[in-house]
Amino acid sequence: MRPQAPVLATALPSPIFPPRSEQGSPLPAGFVLTTPWGSRAYALPLDWHPPTPSPVEGSWLNRLHYMEYLEALPTPLVEKVILDWIESNAFDGTSALRIAWHPFATSIRVVVWMQQIASRREQLSPGLLDRAAASLSAQLRFIERRYESDLRGNHLIKNIKALLWGAAFFEGAEGERWRQLGRRLLAAEIVEQILADGAHYERSPTYHCQVMADLLECHALLPVGRERSALAALLARMGTAAALFTHPDGDVAQFNDSPLRNAYTTVQCLDALAGIAPVSIPADGPFALPDAGFFGLRHRDDYLIIDCGPIAPADLIGHGHGDILSFEWSLGGHRIFVDQGAYQYAGGRRRDISRSTLSHNTVSIDDEEQCDFYSAHRCGRRAQAALLEWETRADGFVLVGSHDGFAHLPGAPRHIRRFEAAPGRLVIEDRLLGGTRGHARAAYLCHPDCTVTVNGHEATIVRAGATVNLLAPSPIRLEDAEWYPDLYVAHPTKRICFDLPWLGSGAKTVLVVQNI
């Protein structure tokens, strides 16, 4: 049966976030698309299906089809770009359209269109409204048939938001069907995906913020009642977790896949949450997200966060890294020790580096991995983390953690790491139990703005007035390395490395802040 002609609702749902003006700018015959890795000019009519010979070209094409840059363009240009997309992307089931009609890309795009139409409705031509409404309803039917129940995670949340937005945007039986499906999926997924401590179960601070933003937009579409109130309470917990994931510089920690410019910021999320639910932001001192497995200390503009939990949910391992017992540390508002970050999501050398245990601020044995990572998002053998001790003190904490990621090596060695943290001081004690006394190496990745000098067992790290003295249990060496703050962005830096003696009694590394 032929679908009924779509009818727009009388009151269209409005965006809850301000326009992202940094994502684009107009040109006389097109526009500039701006991404974390650069800017590119596009002229109309667009080539929506160019070859993608490299991962970065594929990412450019994804961003082109997401169309979030429409928020930064004037209305006449928005009309032209939408109509150009409709002309060039009629769904025919061919592989040439696999990016244009991927459920994730489609879910992002339809919400952008609907929000921009709602914001600019009085300025748009009737012809644009009719054609966009017809295309939107076709795209929403596509999402309804192909939402990502196989992958789930943040992708499925995007699909759910698109269905709920479509239900509020259109009147009639189809809209009601999308509403019922979206609400049913939402009810199941928030139970599964949001942990009791408020963290998203993929354990990526960036994706935590992305999912929080999507759920905030879902909340705006739910009717007043128990369902909406329950989601508000969950969002309040997510707000607390987001604050705990965030360094003093305003950006999140980079555990697992966490590009810094791949989601709304914590401040943007908390601003949107204001008025919906009160958020508890813990005072300075130790903090814990025990279900996600993150622990830390905040003191004024100093911030420490440690990963002592699962790398990812068992059925969605793709964003997980070999970073158990790794940490990040900021002093005086500036990052000192950083996570490697994520350079790309496609397979390749830098993807492997991003996920590798050798790249994180933890211990490796015989250059082996905690987990058996392969391909771009796959993992076979997986380390299990164990929290052995968590003791908070008036001005800090003691954490002892372990994992079995090296149990496949001869003698099944086990790494046990003890952190003793207080303002201006961090003592890390590493013990290696069992095994056949292989080569153990500790490594700490410095922010590119740090200056590092080494003298035997000692290193001095200086950044923006903060000076840290590091005393290692063996001679220190500096290695050339890279830091990936965003996709396709690589900054040269240094990694502090030293060997660990195979001592059951432990080898201590002492870091003391000399001055800020």
DSSP state of 447: P
Could you report how far apart the first and last alpha carbons of the chain are, in Å? 71
CA-based nearest residue to 379, from 351, 415, 360, 414 = 351
CA distances from residue 204 to 28, 63, 64, 309, 409 in whole angstroms, order as listed: 40, 21, 25, 12, 28
Considering the segment(s) 7-273 as one domain, its CATH architecture is: Alpha/alpha barrel (1.50)
- Read off φ and ψ for residue 43, nearest 5 degrees: -110, 145
Question: Which pLDDT score, from 0 to 100, does residue 514 have?
Answer: 80
Crossing angle for the helix pair 153-169 and 205-219, nearest 10 degrees? 20
Partners of 508 in beta bridges: 429
Cα–Cα dist 437/509, whole Å: 20
CATH number of 286-515: 2.70.98.70
Question: Which pLDDT score, from 0 to 100, does residue 516 have?
Answer: 63
| Every domain of the chain and the residues it spans | 7-273, 286-515
Enumerate helices (H) and strands (E) in the chain, giving the number of each: 10, 24
Question: Which pLDDT score, from 0 to 100, does residue 150 have?
Answer: 93
The pLDDT profile of the chain, 516 residues, written as one tens digit per residue, is 556 667 999 999 999 999 999 999 999 999 999 999 999 999 999 999 999 999 999 999 999 999 999 999 999 999 999 999 999 998 876 655 688 999 999 999 999 999 999 999 999 999 999 999 999 999 999 999 999 999 999 999 999 999 999 999 999 999 999 999 999 999 999 999 999 999 999 999 999 999 999 999 999 999 999 999 999 999 999 999 999 999 999 999 999 999 999 999 999 999 999 989 999 888 899 999 999 999 999 999 999 999 999 999 999 999 999 999 999 999 999 999 999 999 999 999 999 999 999 999 999 999 999 999 999 899 999 999 999 999 999 899 999 999 999 999 988 999 999 999 999 999 999 999 887 777 899 999 999 999 999 999 999 999 998 999 999 999 999 999 999 999 999 999 999 999 998 766 678 999 999 876
Question: Which pLDDT score, from 0 to 100, does residue 39 have?
Answer: 98
- Say what the pTM is: 0.96
How crowded is residue 182: how many other Cβ atoms within 10 Å of its Cβ?
26
In this structure, are residues 21 and 31 in contact, taking their beta carbons and an 8 Å threshold? no
Read off the tokens for 149. 């129940």
Task: Tell whether the torsion through CA atoms of 250, 255, 260 and 264 is positive or negative.
Answer: negative
Question: Which pLDDT score, from 0 to 100, does residue 71 have?
Answer: 98
